């Protein structure tokens, strides 16, 4: 018997999110961090709508509003400061939250760590560093640098780009590192009061300005050939760089460093019972603001699957889908970040001239304008392989949209508040009969799937036992999920669509779901623990 279900190495955003998801599920978790506290460095400054949806799912979104500047955008400038494009995302947002918001990472990590205090099954230990890992068929034995040892059923390494866990796994990072160093300067008392980041593609010196809340601001400047990093970090040089924007006093500097950006992916993300996530598994340039967000996607994808396996709902084969699903999307984010850097941050005068001329000529054309304004260049959350059921190419693998819906209390809620935390089956209702009356396979009860009846806006539902009713007030779900007739929509705990099927296809879909989960439902002590945690949080 292991002392812990899961040992998380690293108390950064990825590791703390893993622990919050697992803690909510009743899984026992030990988080260890080599440093004495969460970070005091404002490394990441941007969070996207998928990550905010994840925070909503672990009941921390409202708490995070005090550390976020929500609903910001990005403006791209060319030669001479000419505006090339402005991006803010679609309105209304497709997944329930703004596509881009600014954050302060130290405050963000502290809020995630405070969230763990809700769970008696989760423990957080600082100044604890991993030295050795060994595992057998039942557990992982972890030895710390102090000589102490613990055992866990699974280990998740979220310990950054220089990951000890990855090194102990013997895993290499594949890819490349940029040869161009950048100064990254975080300041306070900044005069910028706009709600958008500014990417200045001036080939003389590309730079980025990202205002935050409460007078915080991030500046990034490309170092030019021949400039010595140490000299450029002097107060005199920093003042020269910032002269067009502000005066800089020594006390205004929160952090200043020289970075060389990476585009790297680990060759594998799993070694039996040991996994890596976040920067331990992939690193990317900052130009798309996706480093932290990609780590949070890893955390969500892996954590709910670990919880299902530990609860006996699924077999360990489900964990094979973690890298299968996440790696391709992480690589797409890296490629987008690299391309944005080459286009927007180019030092080539001729390339910048062509870029600016292109945006001037097509910038008013509808499709190109929407492509930039709505940030459609960002890879969509979509899985092409993994835990997908059936052969529905239209919906399977897509993230479910999250509009506002009306519940029986008469108030508007975001859809996920009606879906709950686990599996769900959605059906379109005409308001006259139970749309789930034909759904009879026991697998839906085995996985604990909530039944959610979606009503068109002209229908007001009647209460039905065992069914949650929601009115699609914005007609988003009716339009997107049921354009070609009635069918059931199977939604995973991470809000991705596992598949869609008609009543006549239920038996085949249920059989395929059982095969992929590789387990029949078993009673588990974790389910009772999860209920106790939920009750303690509620009180």
What pLDDT is stored for residue 363 in this prediction?
67
CATH of 4-66+104-175+263-343, one of 3.50.50.60, 3.30.1600.10, 3.40.50.20, 3.40.1410.10: 3.50.50.60
Using the predicted structure, report yes or no on whether residue 522 has a pLDDT greater than 90.
no
Catalogue the E-assigned strands of 90-171: 100-103, 122-125, 130-135, 140-144, 149-157
Cα separation of 486 and 506, whole Å? 13
> What are the start-end ranges of the H helices in 58-141?
61-64, 105-115
Reading the block at residue 175, the tokens are 């890819």
Domain with CATH 3.50.50.60 in the chain: 4-66+104-175+263-343
Specify the pTM.
0.92
- The count of C-alpha atoms lying within 13 angstroms of the C-alpha of 436, restricted to the half-sphere facing its C-beta, is 23
Task: Please say whether the structural domain 404-538 has been given the CATH code 3.40.50.2300.
Answer: no
Taking the C-alpha atoms of residue 80 and residue 42, their distance in angstroms, rounded to an integer, is 30
Q: Of 233 and 377, which is predicted with more confidence?
A: 233
The region, left, alpha or beta by phi > 0 then psi within -120 to 50, assigned to residue 157 is beta
Residue 531, pLDDT > 70, answer: no
Q: What is the pLDDT of residues 44-82, one digit of tens each?
A: 999 999 999 999 999 999 999 988 989 998 999 999 999
d(CA 248, CA 240): 9
For the ranges 241-250, 260-269, 357-366, the lowest mean pLDDT is seen at 357-366
The yes-or-no verdict on residue 397 having pLDDT over 70 is: yes
Question: Where do the CATH 3.40.30.10 domains begin and end in the chain?
Answer: 404-538
Q: Where residue 520 falls among pLDDT bands split at 50, 70, 90?
A: very low
Of 383, 402, 418, residue with least CA distance to 498: 383
Summarised one tens digit per residue, pLDDT across range 504-515 is: 999 999 999 999
339 contact partners, CB below 8 Å, separation of at least 6:
none
Per the CB < 8 A criterion, the answer to whether 270 and 302 are in contact is no
**pLDDT single digits (tens) 164-205:** 999 999 999 999 887 789 999 999 999 999 999 999 999 999
Cβ 349 vs Cβ 411: under 8 Å: no
**Cα–Cα distance, 140 to 275 (Å, whole number):** 11
- Whether omega for the bond prior to residue 92 falls within 30 degrees of 0, making it cis, is yes
Q: Identify the pLDDT of residue 1.
A: 59
Percent of the chain with pLDDT over 70: 95
Count each helix (H run) and each strand (E run) in the chain, helices first.
16, 26
pLDDT at 130: 98
């Amino acid at each position: 018997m292991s002392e812990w279900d899961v040992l998380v190495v690293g108390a950064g955003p990825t590791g703390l999110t893993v622990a919050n998801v697992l803690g909510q599920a009743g899984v026992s978790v030990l988080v260890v961090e080599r440093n004495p506290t969460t970070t005091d460095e404002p490394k990441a400054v941007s969070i996207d709508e998928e990550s905010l949806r994840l925070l909503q799912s672990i009941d921390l979104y409202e708490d995070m509003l005090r550390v976020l500047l929500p609903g910001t955008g990005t403006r791209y400038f060319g030669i001479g400061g000419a505006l090339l494009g402005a991006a803010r995302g679609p309105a209304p947002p497709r997944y329930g939250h703004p596509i881009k918001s600014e954050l302060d990472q130290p405050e963000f990590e502290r809020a995630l760590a405070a969230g763990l205090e809700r769970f008696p099954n989760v423990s957080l230990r600082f100044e604890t560093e991993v030295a050795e890992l060994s595992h057998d068929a039942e557990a992982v034995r972890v030895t710390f640098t102090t000589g102490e040892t613990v055992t866990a059923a699974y280990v998740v390494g979220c310990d950054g780009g220089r990951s000890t866990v990855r090194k102990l796994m013997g895993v290499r990072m594949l890819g490349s590192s940029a040869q161009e160093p950048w100064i990254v300067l975080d300041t306070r008392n900044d005069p910028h009061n706009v709600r958008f980041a500014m990417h200045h593609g001036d080939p003389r010196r590309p730079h980025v300005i990202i205002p935050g809340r409460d007078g915080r601001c991030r500046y990034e400047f490309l170092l030019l050939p021949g400039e010595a990093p140490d000299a450029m970090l002097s107060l005199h040089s920093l003042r020269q760089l910032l002269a067009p924007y502000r005066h800089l006093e020594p006390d205004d500097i929160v952090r200043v460093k020289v970075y060389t950006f990476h585009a790297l992916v680990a060759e594998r993300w799993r070694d039996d019972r040991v996994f890596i996530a976040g920067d331990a598994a992939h690193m990317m340039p900052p130009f798309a603001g996706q480093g932290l967000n990609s780590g949070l996607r890893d955390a969500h994808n892996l954590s709910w699957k670990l919880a299902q396996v530990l609860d006996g709902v699924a077999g360990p084969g489900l964990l094979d889908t973690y890298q299968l699903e996440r790696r391709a999307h992480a690589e797409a984010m890296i490629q987008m970040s690299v391309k944005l850097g080459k286009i927007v941050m180019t030092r080539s005068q001729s390339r910048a001239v062509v870029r600016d001329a292109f945006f001037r000529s097509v910038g008013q054309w509808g499709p190109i304008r929407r492509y930039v304004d709505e940030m459609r260049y960002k890879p969509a959350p979509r899985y092409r392989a993994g835990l997908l059921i059936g052969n529905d190419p239209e919906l399977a693998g897509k993230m479910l949209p999250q509009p506002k819906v009306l519940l029986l209390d008469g108030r508007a809620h975001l859809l996920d508040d009606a879906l709950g935390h686990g599996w769900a089956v959605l059906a379109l209702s005409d308001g006259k009969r139970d749309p789930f009356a034909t759904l009879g396979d026991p697998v839906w009860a085995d996985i604990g799937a909530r039944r959610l009846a979606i009503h068109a806006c002209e229908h007001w539902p009647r209460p039905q036992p065992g069914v949650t009713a929601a009115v699609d007030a914005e007609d988003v779900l009716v339009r997107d999920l049921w354009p070609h007739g009635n069918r059931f929509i199977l939604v995973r705990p991470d809000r991705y669509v596992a598949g869609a099927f008609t009543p006549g296809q239920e038996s085949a879909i249920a059989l395929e779901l059982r095969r992929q989960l590789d387990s029949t439902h078993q009673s588990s002590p974790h389910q009772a623990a999860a209920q106790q945690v939920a009750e303690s949080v509620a009180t």
